Amino acid sequence: MTRPLLAALAVAVLGITGCGGQQEQETQTAVARSDAYWDGKDGCSAVSLEKLARQTDASEATPEAVAEAFSKRWTSTAARDARQGCLDGIAETASAQ
């Protein structure tokens, strides 16, 4: 099952079971953070660190600088997850080489 399908299913189940208000908003935020993490991990494991630095306009070609630049496209609530996903993707790529 894909992540977007799982996210939609989670939101639908919450709607059916009568959850709403603050709890529903928190669940939707958690789903968005999950998507941000996976976008970061997938995006930052796809190419070399040097290419990522160029693509993201990072200040330097280090994992921290690239992850910080990558996370700028996300809202503040999801940026932390995107940054962590990017760092994990970079580490995964480095360990595979």
* Residue 1 amino acid letter: M
Q: Report d(CA 68, CA 49) in Å as an integer.
A: 13
* Residue 62 amino acid letter: T
Domain boundaries along the sequence of the chain: 3-96
pLDDT tens figures, 9-48: 333 333 444 444 566 655 665 555 579 999 999 999 999 9
pLDDT tens figures, 48-92: 999 999 999 999 999 999 999 999 988 887 999 999 999 999 999
- On whether the CB atoms of residues 96 and 49 are closer than 8 A, the answer is no
- On whether the CB atoms of residues 40 and 67 are closer than 8 A, the answer is yes
